[in-house]
Amino acid sequence: MLRNITKTWPVWFTLPIRFALGGIMFAHGAQKVLGTFGGPGFNAMINNPNTPFPFMRPAWLWWGGAALSEFVGGILIVLGLLTRVGAFFVACTMITAIFGVHWPVFFAPRGIEYPLALLAMCFSLLISGGGMASFDMALWGGRRR
């Protein structure tokens, strides 16, 4: 199972995608988990009673999961360690952001265009894996596929 998750293509195009997506998600997650970069911090996140969808109860669980998904997912993506797992965490958060927070506006600042672009980056990593210069490639055994 782990071998299938870490399987990756020996390509370099994933490196800029990993660094951009992982860096963005790590920074957003750090705001929500650690309170850095002017963010609210974990206690403020989990004490928010409003969720994007009514079925998301208890709210603290969903907000905590979203914050940790961004933070841990960003770290995994940057490192290229279990890249597909990190991309899945971030993709779930972006789908919720698109349909639960930003819909139906398309353009920034409150539109879906930004989370949609991040979701597309997640899908590319879900398909390809971490690529070259990733821990996934090292776990998989070099350039073999």
Q: Would you call 133 exposed, middle or buried from its count of C-beta atoms within 10 A (0-12, 13-18, 19+)?
A: middle
**Cα(33)–Cα(5) distance, integer angstroms:** 26
Token reading at 84: 């597909």
Among the ranges given (51-60, 65-74, 119-128, 132-141), the one the predictor scored with the smallest mean pLDDT: 132-141
Average pLDDT for the chain: 93
Closest C-alpha among 27, 31, 111 to residue 77 = 27
Phi, psi of 35 (to 5 degrees): 80, 15
**Cα(90)–Cα(121) distance, integer angstroms:** 10
**DSSP character at residue 134:** S
Residue with tokens 């879900």: 126
What is the predicted pLDDT for the residue at 56? 94
**Percent of the chain residues topping a pLDDT of 90:** 86
Segment 75-126, tens digit of pLDDT: 999 999 999 999 999 999 999 999 999 999 999 889 999 999 999 999 999 9
Closest C-alpha among 14, 11, 13, 16 to residue 143 = 11
What is the predicted pLDDT for the residue at 145? 46
pLDDT beyond 60 at 143: no
- The reply to whether omega before 16 is within 30° of 0 (cis) is no
- Contacts of 123 by beta carbon, 8 Å cutoff, 6+ apart: 87, 91
Segment 112-122, tens digit of pLDDT: 999 999 999 99
